[in-house]
């Protein structure tokens, strides 16, 4: 079986959906499927057996594409559409596997070219638009709702990444061929060691055993970094030796938050590290005393949450729908999404190491029992096996990945 995967995002980059795309490709590669991935011109090259990365032509004035709807996507997605049409017209594929808004035109291409269509649903796009003010208007929402209905109704298979999306699909289309495949923690992928291990990072950043609070992720407004920086100011009154590390963000965003930090006299406590190699990311989780997710809104589980929970480091997160899909009080400290309560959550873990150890242990136990690569591959295999009863090179039954 040969697959054309269409991924409308920078690939590869160490953030949500690109990591999810990478994990799907790793599973499909293990199952011996041949995959061409059509994606943006932006991103790092990664080598995966059986996977060929195809990129649209470089658009000179577009060097990045942020998560969610953006003006860059208004330029890049039409180019992606044209190239996908050309590739499908000149090559033989059995399946189109689409991510995010690429599903809108992939549903059309599946009909025109007579291919099976797998929709990889990372979020409900109409709901996502409501989180971005410019895009939250009648025309965009109506268009997104209409197109999403068509995709859900016509897809041969639908993959969802969380309970909320799984319930949405099953409620609207009970007959849909759908499966929930949660994203994997980064640690499960056995990434090669990064250029700098934990001790190396501590030395580089001047950390000398003081409590360290770490945030990783994008710097978009919904992540709640303004609130987090204010909560950090509160924490420093009790722990004046504490250090806060923020991993992620582009230069413009980092410059903005550096200025905000300076305005609040917090520059001595907070370091902005920018994007780091994915292979190095888990080292920052290991050196942390507390991991934080101050996200203010969202309905889908942040991918990083699985990695946080497997890290062995206790977590403080805001008590919102997106976090509740993965967390409860046995796994993390959950707080109201405001600076004072979030600060109290951080202090609670700093002041009670035994509580932190208990929560982190519970989280690790859950992650290892529920989110192994073996189970992940079997889920990907099972949904692909529903597409055709007789594919020449398909894998039948369950697989074991223990020796891979």
Asked if 117 contacts 24 with a C-beta cutoff of 8 angstroms, the reply is: no
Percent of the chain with pLDDT over 90: 72
Rounded CA Rg of the chain: 21
Place of tokens 């994990």: 23
pLDDT for 32 beyond 70: yes
pLDDT, tens only, 37-64? 999 999 989 999 999 999 999 999 999 8
Alpha-carbon distance of 355 to 349, in angstroms, equals 7
- Which pLDDT does position 133 carry in this prediction? 61
Domains and CATH numbers, the chain: 2-184+372-385 (3.40.50.2000), 189-369 (3.40.50.2000)
Residue 300: pLDDT band by 50, 70, 90 thresholds?
confident
> Strand 2-7 and strand 34-39: pairing?
parallel
Question: Across residues 175-186, what is the average pLDDT?
Answer: 91
Residue 135 DSSP class: G
End-to-end CA distance of the chain: 21
DSSP 8-state class, residue 63 = -
Contact in structure between 122 and 9 (CB atoms under 8 Å): no
Q: Which of 174-188, 281-295, 379-393 has the lowest mean pLDDT?
A: 379-393
* CA distance to 19, 184, 227, per residue, from 381 (Å): 19, 16, 42
For the chain, the average pLDDT equals 90
Using pLDDT thresholds of 50, 70 and 90, give the confidence band for residue 394: very low
Residue entry with tokens 């409900």: 124
Residues 6+ apart with CB under 8 A from 211: 239, 241, 242, 243, 289, 290, 350
* Per-residue CA distances from 169 to 60, 129, 163, 172, 232 (Å): 39, 18, 10, 5, 39
Residue 300's SS3 state is coil
Is the pTM value of this prediction over 0.75?
A: no
């Amino acid at each position: 079986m040969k697959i054309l995967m269409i991924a409308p995002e920078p690939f590869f980059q160490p953030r949500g959906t690109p990591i999810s795309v990478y994990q799907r490709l790793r599973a499909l590669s293990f199952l011996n499927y041949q995959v061409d991935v059509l994606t943006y011109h932006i991103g790092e090259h990664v080598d995966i057996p059986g996977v060929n990365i195809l990129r649209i032509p470089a658009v000179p004035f577009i060097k990045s594409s942020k998560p969610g709807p953006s003006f860059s996507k208004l330029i890049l997605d039409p180019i992606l559409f044209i190239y996908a049409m050309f590739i499908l017209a000149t090559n033989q594929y059995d399946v189109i596997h689409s991510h995010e808004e690429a599903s809108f035109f992939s549903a059309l291409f599946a009909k025109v070219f007579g291919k099976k269509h797998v929709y990889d649903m990372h979020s409900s796009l109409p709901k996502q638009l409501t989180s971005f003010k410019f895009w939250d208007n009648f025309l965009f929402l109506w268009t997104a709702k209409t197109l999403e209905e068509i995709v859900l109704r016509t897809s041969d298979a639908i993959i969802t990444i969380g309970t909320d999306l799984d319930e949405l699909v099953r409620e609207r289309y009970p007959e849909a061929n759908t499966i929930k495949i949660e994203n994997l923690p980064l640690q499960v992928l056995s990434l090669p060691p990064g250029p700098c291990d934990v001790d190396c990072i501590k030395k580089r950043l001047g950390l000398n055993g003081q409590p360290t609070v770490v945030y990783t992720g994008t710097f978009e407004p919904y992540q709640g970094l303004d609130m987090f920086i204010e909560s950090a100011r509160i924490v420093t009154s009790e722990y004046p030796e504490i250090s806060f590390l923020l991993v992620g963000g582009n230069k413009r965003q980092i410059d903005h938050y550096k200025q905000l930090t300076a305005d609040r006299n917090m520059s001595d406590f907070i370091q902005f590290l920018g994007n780091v190699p994915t292979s190095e990311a888990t080292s920052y989780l290991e050196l942390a005393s507390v991991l934080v997710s101050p996200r203010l809104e969202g309905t889908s589980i942040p991918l990083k949450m699985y990695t946080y929970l497997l890290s062995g480091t206790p977590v403080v997160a805001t008590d919102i729908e997106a976090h509740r899909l993965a967390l409860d009080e046995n796994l993390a400290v959950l707080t109201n999404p405001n600076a004072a309560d979030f600060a109290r959550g951080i202090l609670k873990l700093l002041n009670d190491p035994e509580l932190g150890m208990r929560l982190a242990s519970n989280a690790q136990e859950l992650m290892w029992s529920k989110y192994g690569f073996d189970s992940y591959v079997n889920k990907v295999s099972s949904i692909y096996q529903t597409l055709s009863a007789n594919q020449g090179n398909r894998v039948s039954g369950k697989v074991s990945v223990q020796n891979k």
